[in-house]
Amino acid sequence: MSETQSEKRNLLAAAVDWEVAAKTAVRLSPRGPAASRYTAQQAVSELSEASVRAEGPVRDVTGLADGLPVPAAQVVDRKTWARAAAQSMAQLTGSAEETERSLLAGKPAGLQAGAMLAYLSSAILGQYDPFTGDNGTLLLVAPNIVMVERALRVPPSDFRLWVCLHEVTHRVQFSSAPWISDFMRDAVDVLGAVGEESMNEMLSRLVDALKQRRRSDSQPMEQRGVIGLLRATQAPPQREALDRLLVLGTLLEGHADHVMDAVGPAVVPSVAQIRAAFDDRRRRSVNPLQRLVRALLGMDAKMAQYVRGKRFVDAVVGEVGMERFNAIWTGPETLPLLAEIEEPNRWIARVLG
């Protein structure tokens, strides 16, 4: 890591005390749904087995046989997920030593980050963390999976395997394209850089963005809500870095959603029922407070990533097949551009000729 990159990491580490965030998240994370000890143990056992069973179908569908051993998933509760998420963010933004040296500087932000993680701890079904462990860490949040499968009234065994297909796909993505982790770190470094712009310049961009928003009824995902306001306040290098992360996230989530459905009823007998019920739940309206919190945390933009990303992957794979689609994992230059997410044929023309 260069001296400049190290300095940026120091600034990011000082901005958020992730140890405080972890402790806050653990304290505030709500309990999961009521379940007997037998039900809880059965869910943990079945999810552990499903995370291994999912590997074969994922490799078959994607063609990304990375040849690595299949690491055991960690089936966790909400508090454990929140603590792990904070640790992962500490790894992404700076080392533990740097965080410790931040002293009081990052504690207020740590409290805020912890509260955010506590809220998310009841919404996350699973997560692949590429920044911890020799082969990354696959986390499955058992109480949330049980809660959703009950709400959807779908076969628990099928739903658990379906969730694992999505998360295992992320592990295959990162292990087959190891450059992705560095790509993410580089983008985060740029986002954390301290620019030399004046406050007037930043405010001018924000005013222009708000005016443009009033003139337009429909905007792309990256210009809506809290993400749109964040982009409006950023200097061009930071905005470009954020866009790179948005595109990457859209691709990763869309590809995983494509895979979890592409395995078909031979692997997950009720896959069509699960997808229909799951999409209906995503569209279902929530109360105003939940809607506000979701907007502030960018969760609606996250949902849009799944939809837009899957539509992009479906279109490209339908046009050229999965083998040629896999050129997308070659390097940063083969990632889709923001405009290409909505127009997959532009990506095909640019990358595949």
Task: Compare 115 and 235 and report the one with higher pLDDT.
Answer: 115
Q: How far apart are the first and last CA of the chain?
A: 35
In a domain, 223, yes or no: no
**Structural domain total, the chain:** 1
pTM of the model: 0.81
Q: What residue numbers bound the domain in which 29 lies? A: 3-195+235-352
In a domain, residue 216? The reply is no
Asked if residue 244 belongs to a domain, the reply is yes
Distance (Å, whole) CA 146 – CA 154: 11
| Structural domain includes residue 136 | yes
pLDDT confidence band for 116 (50 / 70 / 90): confident
- Residue range 288-341, pLDDT digits in tens: 545 545 554 555 555 677 789 999 999 999 999 999 999 999 999 999 998 999
Residue 225 lies in a domain: no
pLDDT band for position 9 (cuts 50, 70, 90): very low
Burial of 339 (0-12, 13-18, 19+ CB in 10 A): exposed
Helix axes 156-176, 37-53, angle to 10 degrees: 40
Q: Is residue 86 a part of any domain in this protein?
A: yes
Q: Is 228 within the bounds of a domain?
A: no
d(CA 324, CA 75): 34
Between 92 and 270, name the one with better pLDDT: 270
